[in-house]
Amino acid sequence: MSRLLRGTYIVWIVLRYGLDELVLSSFQKPWLHLIGRIVSFGRPLNAPRGVRLREALERLGPIFVKFGQVLSTRRDLLPPDIAEELAKLQDRVPPFSPDIAVATIERAFRRPVGEIFTEFQREPVASASIAQVHFAKLVDRDGREREVAVKVLRPGMLPVIEKDLHLMRTMAGWVESLSADGKRLKPREVVAEFDKYLHDELDLMREAASAAQLRRNMEGLDLVLIPEMFWDWCRNDVLVMERMKGIPISQTTRLREAGVDLKRLARDGVTIFFTQVFRDGFFHADMHPGNIFVSTDPATFGRYISLDFGIVGTLTEYDKEYLAQNFTAFFRRDYKRVAELHIESGWVPPQTRVDELEAAVRAVCEPYFDRPLKEISLGMVLMRLFQTSRRFNVEIQPQLVLLQKTLLNIEGLGRDLDPDLDLWSTAKPFLEKWMAEQIGPRKFWEALKDQAPRYAKLLPELPRLLHDYLQHNAGSSRRELEQLLAEQRHTNRLLQGLIYAGIGFACGLVVMQILVRHQYF
């Protein structure tokens, strides 16, 4: 019943704001234009279409607001009026009452706001779909007064999200059962991933932990700033962090006037993204313009400032290696290797012909090389790849949905900063270096150092384990061994060689452990 009511409400919002007319009028067929005029007759649809779309998404709740945020980064695919209006969803969602924010803070810490902060601004400085932010000041453990940002969770979020997710699961079931591509697209798994990330966003302690991890990972890069978390004042529904000062990355005119090198900023963004993805396997996955600023502080001038860490993505070592090999093969235009990787990973059926898949990938990607970003629509590339994947029954990988979303955000940011940015040539050296490190001697020694303590602990147990195994299989093993020795007189030499090799390997591990303990590596 609750899903039926929610579905009815969505239909009512669509009709109230004239979104049905907006969709019909976007088609080129004259008869669809006529239907659009008929269905809009008698409804007061005086507001601009972008305003109507934004207000409808706001009324529908956080999931739909996030959908609008993603759309707002694709100015190449949207009319300018709609893109400008949807951009307001990034940090200008209508705020909730300051009294509710204060009550939430006082309930979380069981203390009046005046005892926690030396100064607290009741009016929020930013309001998004999940939470809103207030500026404040507090005295830290060292007795210094610090400027902080206080993030407060929007009340009543969980029931609304649960209703929308129920609807999405239902629709995913319909797609899977009714669509020819249903099983290949894995809609249920994709919704399950979305479910996980939305619930993660509702836990601000998890967000604080993610921010701390990213801050550690990025310390040596000197390209991005991530705020410090004040752990004494972090709870599930309230988060207190260092206040960061800068210019929103979407305000390119202000950045130019401040002297920021936009071309370098665009290249740095690509470096940050690929470092987080391939070096760390832990990346900021909500990089829309409302969450990215640029520092104007003289000590950190021109660096990125990342905010809002409610959604982060993780990749396994297998995912990283597979993606890196794919990217590297793309950049080298080695389409045969791309096809082989898809078959080896199980993304396409094993009987797929390599030459056919190679030709299809070449037809999609080859026209886009050596072009500046302004001449490339990644949306069109993805559309053509989707058509190709349908033909070859490529299975959608739900664990990579966040990475795809983040890549679209990065392209949107790069397009605004430097339309002439060559995304391919900027990323290629980084990926080739990363791949060399993964298979080179340095990686070998690091892996050996990591495993040396484990092997050193295991070695003394090997004789007992071997004895137990032989005793357990004494009868059959002895008969088989006698038969083998009768047939091959020289097997004893082979066994001796194996024993000597095992002793040599054990000695090598012991020596390695000694070297590690004395920090020779």
| Banded pLDDT at 22 (limits 50, 70, 90) | low
Among residues 153, 108, 164, the alpha carbon closest in space to that of 131 is found at 153
SS3 152: strand
**In terms of C-beta distances under 8 Å and separation of at least 24 residues, what long-range contacts does 110-117 make, across chains too?**
116/233, 117/148, 117/150
Q: Give yes or no for a contact between 66 and 91, defined as CB atoms under 8 angstroms apart.
A: no
Cα 461 from Cα 454, distance rounded (Å): 12
pTM beyond 0.75, yes or no: no
In the beta sheet, which residues pair with residue 283? 313
Q: Give yes or no for a contact between 357 and 342, defined as CB atoms under 8 angstroms apart.
A: yes
Question: Dihedral angle at the C-alpha atoms of 203, 208, 212, 213, nearest 10 degrees?
Answer: 10
Higher pLDDT, 282 or 493: 282
The 10s digit of each residue's pLDDT in 250-264 is 899 999 999 999 999
pLDDT-above-70 percentage for the chain: 67
Rg from Cα positions in the chain = 29
Question: Dihedral angle at the C-alpha atoms of 48, 50, 56, 57, nearest 10 degrees?
Answer: -170
pLDDT for res 317: 81
Task: Work out the average pLDDT over 122-129.
Answer: 87
The 10s digit of each residue's pLDDT in 234-243 is 999 999 999 9
Among residues 124, 2, 128, the alpha carbon closest in space to that of 57 is found at 128
Element (H, E) at 291: none
Task: Work out the average pLDDT over 70-91.
Answer: 70
| Banded pLDDT at 378 (limits 50, 70, 90) | low
pLDDT for res 14: 77
Task: Work out the average pLDDT over 156-166.
Answer: 78
60-64, 189-193, 287-291, 400-404 — most confident range: 287-291
| Lookup result for tokens 């091959």 | 488
Higher pLDDT, 511 or 18: 18
If you ran DSSP here, which 8-state letter would residue 419 be given? T
| Lowest mean per-residue pLDDT among 96-110, 190-204, 273-287 | 190-204
pLDDT for res 361: 85
| Lowest mean per-residue pLDDT among 86-100, 195-209, 323-337, 490-504 | 490-504
Tell me, what amino acid is at 419?
P
| Banded pLDDT at 518 (limits 50, 70, 90) | very low
pLDDT-above-90 percentage for the chain: 23
Task: Work out the average pLDDT over 490-511.
Answer: 43
pLDDT for res 515: 41
pLDDT surpassing 80 at residue 444: no
Higher pLDDT, 186 or 337: 337
Higher pLDDT, 234 or 286: 234
90-104, 170-184, 378-392, 454-468 — most confident range: 90-104
Q: What are the two backbone dihedrals, phi and then psi, of residue 18, each rounded to the nearest 5 degrees?
A: 65, 30
| Banded pLDDT at 90 (limits 50, 70, 90) | low
Mean pLDDT, all residues of the chain: 76
Q: What are the two backbone dihedrals, phi and then psi, of residue 136, each rounded to the nearest 5 degrees?
A: -155, 175
> Is 286 designated active site?
yes
Among residues 162, 160, 198, 159, the alpha carbon closest in space to that of 311 is found at 198
pLDDT for res 70: 64
Residue of 91, 237, 268, 286 marked active site: 286
Higher pLDDT, 419 or 294: 294
| Lowest mean per-residue pLDDT among 24-28, 70-74, 291-295, 316-320 | 24-28
pLDDT for res 494: 45
Cα 472 from Cα 74, distance rounded (Å): 66
Whole-angstrom CA distances from 154 to 105, 146, 240, 362 are 12, 25, 15, 47
pLDDT for res 285: 85
70-84, 227-241, 436-450, 505-519 — most confident range: 227-241
If you ran DSSP here, which 8-state letter would residue 97 be given? P
pLDDT surpassing 80 at residue 273: yes
| Lookup result for tokens 């959908």 | 67
Among residues 337, 321, 326, 328, the alpha carbon closest in space to that of 429 is found at 328
The 10s digit of each residue's pLDDT in 394-419 is 766 655 667 777 777 777 788 788 88
| Lookup result for tokens 């929020």 | 124
In the beta sheet, which residues pair with residue 240? 150
pLDDT for res 519: 44
DSSP string, 323-364: HHHHHHHHHTT-HHHHHHHHHHTTSS-TT--HHHHHHHHHHH
Q: Give yes or no for a contact between 149 and 241, defined as CB atoms under 8 angstroms apart.
A: yes
Task: Work out the average pLDDT over 338-364.
Answer: 83
If you ran DSSP here, which 8-state letter would residue 298 be given? G
pLDDT for res 227: 96
Q: What distance separates the 2 farthest-apart alpha carbons in the chain?
A: 99
pLDDT for res 133: 95
Contacts of 253 (CB under 8 A, 6+ apart): none
Q: What angle do CA 195, 63, 44 make, to 5 degrees?
A: 155
Cα 12 from Cα 467, distance rounded (Å): 75
Task: Work out the average pLDDT over 163-169.
Answer: 76
pLDDT surpassing 70 at residue 349: yes
Q: Give yes or no for a contact between 224 and 215, defined as CB atoms under 8 angstroms apart.
A: no
Q: Are strands 304-306 and 224-225 parallel, antiparallel or unpaired?
A: parallel
